[in-house]
Structure 1
């Protein structure tokens, strides 16, 4: 295992689960009324693979299908049912992805990504997808971020997805770790992410020059406690504001166990290096 040179992982797995990064990995799910879209990759083996799925809890045989394309759709499913699915290497069934879960049902709009409440793939960070942010890139593509939340959990992982057809279809880009409560924004044709390392953690910012595929190491702008037991930084994925030659973002500071939160504003000159921490200032916290 080597040190990471950027902010991104493809995918991020905790150190004691690092082997999972070189097994088949299902990185995106998007169920609808009678089908489940999925996206996967296998960094450890480019050879043939098998897609397996069945209704959860019914003790039925697995349905199987040979696959080689990265984006698939399982159709003809029953509405309102829970399904389990995985990708395994052909003739090496022990080399399998984690079993993922999805529930079919009517969906208002387009599903970018989905996480079943009983799916524990990202439980090291959280159990629910939260804090969405979206930005239109200079290329015209759309980039979306979402983080992983659960009460009392570490809450430190963000997932990125991109669309090149105005939101009709989406695909996985990468993971950012640590990153939580992030805002994607473009400034002077460069893509940035402003977020926190975790709830009550540090305020971070990083930059990408390839539409979010790879990222700089994040700069730490302001340090927090990183624990719900003590005061630290928080924010929401609100848009950046430009006024009078400066970029502004709202922030919170505090902890519920310390009596609540104060509100402030951080800002930086719009022509400054956004990754140079001393260029940023924070207002009084009130």
Structure 2
């Protein structure tokens, strides 16, 4: 008869072997993933893909990045961002750097130099770095002269850098208003002269930040975050933010910025707009050729309006257009999966590339290893090209509009 202690050891070893064989011995399969895979983090590792960012270097190469979040990361102490490079217009990618500490950070090119701007961690200090070799090595934000812009608690995502009136602008949120997610975030905008040393904190000024008022919208104004610095048709700066205000999630908040970049103001009675997908991160950019604003959003399609709260519905990615920042038209559904719980095409960062849009997307999808932990906890960073984006229409959608509750395309 086998002693009980030995039997327990045998059973434990068998369990460990079974877990290993089902979790780690499987071969990843990304053949069904829409677009080109830049990076993959299997869900079993407890580290998920966050904060996609992408930009185009002066030599034509693409650079993309994502950070890591989840229970097996150090996102709250010293976060990690991975940087990738493509020299064949997004067909293939290779990792060229791992940057620490960096979280929720945006890649951008300014005056021929590559920068990375964002917090050091989940609600960390605000910093900026520069790379002089296309993303392989980076300066370190050791002090206020070398990239440490502001100490404290800050929140953002890879949001646009805007050039206007001789200054470079960037929306950020202060995160010191309590500890409740969403309500703790207070929008503000940083700016610096375009010819200044962006690594020098003294180059930057910022507006006041606006704390959320729990009485707004009859108590339903629950969060605002991940703001876009945008120039309005009449030439003024606004900060257009994702907001949570109930199950439908189809609105955005507009914070007005003074021309000198020192004062932010908001009127909850006047400064809300209808914006499909407004409860998830979105990026707005202006296209000079069409004289219109464009965005990639996660709308809650009618077929899925009862599947989850609006902020959790990320299974569709749609191209949107507006001429006035107030009225938005859905032009095309560019990514879609019928499952909401474990599939998402979220946090798109994107850039114009001639007649195309190129995008880096935080993607939750099947990978042959059990898929994403859930739609939010993505397992892929993917690249997509929207060719001739200005000509796209609903008939070009990846799913027939009438199959998801929208009017049939013509």
TM-score, length-scaled by structure 2: 0.42
Count of residues in correspondence between the two structures: 183
Counterpart of 2:25 (choices 84, 87, 93) is: 84
2:102/2:118 contact within 8 Å kept: yes
User: In the alignment, which of 68, 81, 90 is matched to residue 148 of structure 1?
Assistant: 68
* Superposition map of 1:72-151 within 5 A: 83-84=24-25, 102-104=28-30, 106-119=32-45, 127-150=47-70
Residues 1-80 of structure 1 correspond to what in structure 2 (within 5 A)? 57=18
Pairing of 1:266-285 with structure 2 (within 5 A): 266-285=190-209
Cα RMSD (Å) of the superposition?
A: 2.3
Cα distance in 1 for residues equivalent to 2:148 and 2:137: 18
> Counterpart of 1:181 in 2: which secondary structure?
coil
Q: Of Structure 1 and Structure 2, which has the larger fraction of its residues in helix?
A: 2
User: Deviation of residue 171 (structure 1)?
Assistant: 0.5
The 2-side partners of 1:247 and 1:263 are apart by 17
Q: Which runs of 5+ in 2 are unaligned?
A: 1-16, 142-146, 211-410
Deviation of the 1:84 alpha carbon: 3.4
Match of 2:156 in 1: 235
- Deviation of 1:170 (Å): 0.5
The change in CA–CA distance for 1:285 and 1:59 in structure 2 (over 3 A counts) is: closer
Alignment of 1:172-251 (within 5 A): 172-218=95-141, 219-224=147-152, 232-251=153-172
**1:84–1:102 Cα contact (<8 Å) kept:** no
Match of 2:275 in 1: none
Match of 1:278, SS state, is: helix
Offset, 1:154: 3.0
| 1:103–1:116 CA contact under 8 A, matched in 2 | no
TM norm structure 1:
0.59
Task: Give the deviation of 1:153 after TM superposition.
Answer: 5.4
* Alpha carbons of structure 1 residues 265 and 58: separation in structure 2 relative to 1, 3 Å: closer
In structure 1, what is the equivalent of residue 280 of structure 2?
Answer: none
Question: What is the aligned partner in structure 2 of residue 8 from structure 1?
Answer: none
SS in 1 for 2:129: strand
Classify 1:83/1:154 alpha carbon distance in 2 versus 1 (closer, same or farther; 3 Å): closer
User: In the TM superposition, what is the alpha-carbon distance from 1:254 to its structure 2 partner?
Assistant: 1.8
Q: Max radius of gyration: which structure?
A: 2
Q: Counterparts of 1:112 and 1:277 in 2: how far apart (Å)?
A: 33
Change (3 A) 1:183 1:58: closer
Secondary structure (helix, strand or coil) at the match of 1:212 reads coil
